[in-house]
Structure 1
Amino acid sequence: MNRRTDDIINRTVIMNRLDSITSEMGIALEHSAHSPIFAEACDFACCICDEAGELVSQLSGIPILATAGSFSVKSVLRKFGTAITDGDVFIINDPYDGGNHLPDIGIITPVFYEDELLFFCVSRAHHGDIGGSTAGSYNPKATEIFQEGLRIPPTRLMKNNEMIMDVLELIRLNTRNPDMLTSDFLAQIGSNRLASRRIKDMLSTYSVATVKKAVTESLIQTETLTRQRIEAIPDGTYSAVDYIDDDGFQTEPVKIAVAVTIAGNRMLVDFAGTDAQVKGFINTSVVTATCAAGIAALWFLGKDIPRNSGAFRCIEVNLPVGSLVNPNLPAPMTLCTLTPASEIIGTIFKALDQAQTGRVSAGYHRYLGPSFYGVDPRNGRYYVGFSFCSLGSGGAMKGHDGKPYIATLSNFGGVKAPNIESNEVQYPHLTLHHEMDGDTAGAGEYRGGCGMKFAFEITADKGDVVNFGDGIKFAPYGLRGGQQGSLNRSIFVHDGENIIMESKEAPRHAVKGDRIYLNTSSGGGWGDPMKRPLQKVYDDVQDEIISLATAENVYGVIISEAGIDFEKTEKRRNNS
Structure 2
Amino acid sequence: MDQTTITHDPVTFDIIQSALEAVADEMFVAQRKASMSAIIYEVLDLSTSILDRNGEIAASGAGIPAFIGVLDKAIKGILNKFPMDTIRPGDVFASNDPYFGGVTHLNDMVLAAPVFHEGRLVAWVANIAHWNDVGGSVPGSMSAEATEIFQEGVRIPALRLFDEGRENSAVFDILYTNTRLPDFLRGDLWAGIAGLRIGERRVLELVDKYGGDTFEAAIADYMDLGERRARAALRALPPGTYDFEEEQDSGDIHKVSLTITGDAFVVDLQDNPRQKGSSNASREGTEIAVQLAFKAFTDPEAPGNGGFFRPLRVVTKPGTLFHVEAPGALGYYSEVEVRLFDMLLRALASYFPGVVPAGNFASICGTVVGGPHPDTGRHYTIVEPQVGGWGAWEGHDGPSGQFSGFHGETFNCPAEVAEARYGLTVDQIALNAAPGGEGQWRGGKGIDVHYRVRADHNFLSAGYTRARLPPWGIEGGLDGSCNYVELRRTDGRTERYAFATNVEVNTGDVIRVVTGVGGGYGDPRKRSKEAIARDIRNGYLTPERAAEVYGYVQD
Q: TM-score range by the shorter chain?
A: over 0.9
Task: Quote the offset at 1:242 in angstroms.
Answer: 2.6
Distance 2:353 2:120 in 1: 48
Q: How does 1:436-451 map to 2 (within 5 A)?
A: 436-451=431-446
Task: Quote the offset at 1:552 in angstroms.
Answer: 3.9
Counterpart in the other structure of 1:472? 467
Distance 1:437 1:377 in 2: 29
Counterpart in the other structure of 1:402? 398
Secondary structure of the corresponding residue to residue 82 of structure 2: helix
Task: Quote the offset at 1:439 in angstroms.
Answer: 4.3
Output one character per residue of 1:331-352: Cα deviation in whole Å (capped at 9) or x when no partner. Answer: 1111112x11111111101111
CA contact (8 A) 2:359 2:472 kept: yes
Counterpart in the other structure of 1:96? 99
CA contact (8 A) 1:492 1:514 kept: yes
Counterpart in the other structure of 2:86? 83
Mark the CA change 1:480 to 1:274 in structure 2 (over 3 Å): closer, same or farther: farther
Mark the CA change 1:531 to 1:59 in structure 2 (over 3 Å): closer, same or farther: farther
For the pair 1:358 / 2:354, whether they are aligned, the reply is yes
| Of 308, 311, 320, the match for 2:308 | 311
Q: How does 1:362-377 map to 2 (within 5 A)?
A: 362-365=358-361, 366-368=363-365, 370-377=367-374
User: In structure 2, what residue type is equivalent to 1:197?
Assistant: R
User: In structure 1, what residue type is equivalent to 2:214?
Assistant: T
Distance 2:398 2:333 in 1: 24
Counterpart in the other structure of 2:269? 271
CA contact (8 A) 2:281 2:323 kept: yes
Task: Quote the offset at 1:56 in angstroms.
Answer: 0.9
Secondary structure of the corresponding residue to residue 273 of structure 2: coil
Q: How does 1:219-258 map to 2 (within 5 A)?
A: 219-246=223-250, 253-258=251-256
Mark the CA change 1:34 to 1:87 in structure 2 (over 3 Å): closer, same or farther: same
For the pair 1:114 / 2:114, whether they are aligned, the reply is no
Task: Quote the offset at 1:448 in angstroms.
Answer: 1.6
Q: How does 1:70-469 map to 2 (within 5 A)?
A: 70-81=72-83, 82-99=85-102, 100-246=104-250, 253-278=251-276, 280-337=277-334, 339-365=335-361, 366-368=363-365, 370-388=367-385, 390-412=386-408, 414-469=409-464
CA contact (8 A) 2:297 2:355 kept: yes
Counterpart in the other structure of 2:66? 64
User: In structure 1, what residue type is equivalent to 2:51?
Assistant: C
Output one character per residue of 1:5-25: Cα deviation in whole Å (capped at 9) or x when no partner. Answer: 962212221111111111121
CA contact (8 A) 1:56 1:215 kept: yes
Secondary structure of the corresponding residue to residue 175 of structure 1: coil
Q: RMSD of the alignment, in Å?
A: 2.0
User: In structure 2, what residue type is equivalent to 1:456?
Assistant: Y
Q: TM-score under structure 2 normalisation?
A: 0.94
Task: Quote the offset at 1:28 in angstroms.
Answer: 1.5
Distance 1:471 1:377 in 2: 34
Secondary structure of the corresponding residue to residue 438 of structure 1: coil
Mark the CA change 1:209 to 1:330 in structure 2 (over 3 Å): closer, same or farther: same
Distance 1:521 1:37 in 2: 22
Mark the CA change 1:479 to 1:23 in structure 2 (over 3 Å): closer, same or farther: farther
For the pair 1:540 / 2:527, whether they are aligned, the reply is no
| Of 34, 48, 51, the match for 1:49 | 51
Task: Quote the offset at 1:275 in angstroms.
Answer: 1.4
Distance 1:489 1:215 in 2: 45
User: In structure 2, what residue type is equivalent to 1:347?
Assistant: M
Mark the CA change 1:38 to 1:265 in structure 2 (over 3 Å): closer, same or farther: same
Q: How many residues align?
A: 548
CA contact (8 A) 1:367 1:392 kept: no
CA contact (8 A) 2:7 2:214 kept: no
User: In structure 1, what residue type is equivalent to 2:71?
Assistant: G
Task: Quote the offset at 1:480 in angstroms.
Answer: 3.3
| Of 476, 494, 518, the match for 2:489 | 494
User: In structure 2, what residue type is equivalent to 1:560?
Assistant: Q
User: In structure 2, what residue type is equivalent to 1:162?
Assistant: R
CA contact (8 A) 2:464 2:484 kept: no
CA contact (8 A) 2:8 2:214 kept: no
CA contact (8 A) 2:384 2:413 kept: no
Output one character per residue of 1:307-336: Cα deviation in whole Å (capped at 9) or x when no partner. Answer: 111111111111111111012211111111
Task: Quote the offset at 1:549 in angstroms.
Answer: 3.6
Unaligned runs of 5+ in 2: none
Distance 2:439 2:222 in 1: 40
User: In structure 2, what residue type is equivalent to 1:356?
Assistant: F
Counterpart in the other structure of 2:554? 560
Distance 1:517 1:335 in 2: 21
Mark the CA change 1:193 to 1:397 in structure 2 (over 3 Å): closer, same or farther: farther
Mark the CA change 1:114 to 1:142 in structure 2 (over 3 Å): closer, same or farther: same
Secondary structure of the corresponding residue to residue 416 of structure 1: coil
Distance 1:560 1:446 in 2: 19
User: In structure 1, what residue type is equivalent to 2:48?
Assistant: C
For the pair 1:8 / 2:3, whether they are aligned, the reply is no
Distance 1:425 1:103 in 2: 23
Distance 1:272 1:91 in 2: 31
Distance 1:134 1:43 in 2: 21
Task: Quote the offset at 1:232 in angstroms.
Answer: 0.8
Question: Larger deviation: 531-540 or 224-233?
Answer: 531-540
Task: Quote the offset at 1:497 in angstroms.
Answer: 4.1
Distance 1:29 1:534 in 2: 49
CA contact (8 A) 1:244 1:340 kept: no
CA contact (8 A) 2:473 2:521 kept: yes
Mark the CA change 1:289 to 1:40 in structure 2 (over 3 Å): closer, same or farther: same
Distance 1:495 1:459 in 2: 12
CA contact (8 A) 1:441 1:451 kept: no
Task: Quote the offset at 1:539 in angstroms.
Answer: 2.7
Task: Quote the offset at 1:303 in angstroms.
Answer: 1.7
Task: Quote the offset at 1:370 in angstroms.
Answer: 3.2
Q: TM-score under structure 1 normalisation?
A: 0.91
Unaligned runs of 5+ in 1: 247-252, 562-576
CA contact (8 A) 1:40 1:416 kept: yes
Counterpart in the other structure of 1:571? none
Distance 1:445 1:273 in 2: 37
CA contact (8 A) 2:144 2:499 kept: yes
Fraction of identical pairs, as percent:
30
Secondary structure of the corresponding residue to residue 370 of structure 1: strand
Distance 2:247 2:31 in 1: 36
Distance 1:547 1:525 in 2: 17
Secondary structure of the corresponding residue to residue 416 of structure 2: helix
Secondary structure of the corresponding residue to residue 9 of structure 2: helix
Task: Quote the offset at 1:442 in angstroms.
Answer: 1.4
Task: Quote the offset at 1:367 in angstroms.
Answer: 3.7
Output one character per residue of 1:165-197: Cα deviation in whole Å (capped at 9) or x when no partner. Answer: 111101221111122111101101111111111
Distance 1:17 1:380 in 2: 47
Distance 2:548 2:242 in 1: 34
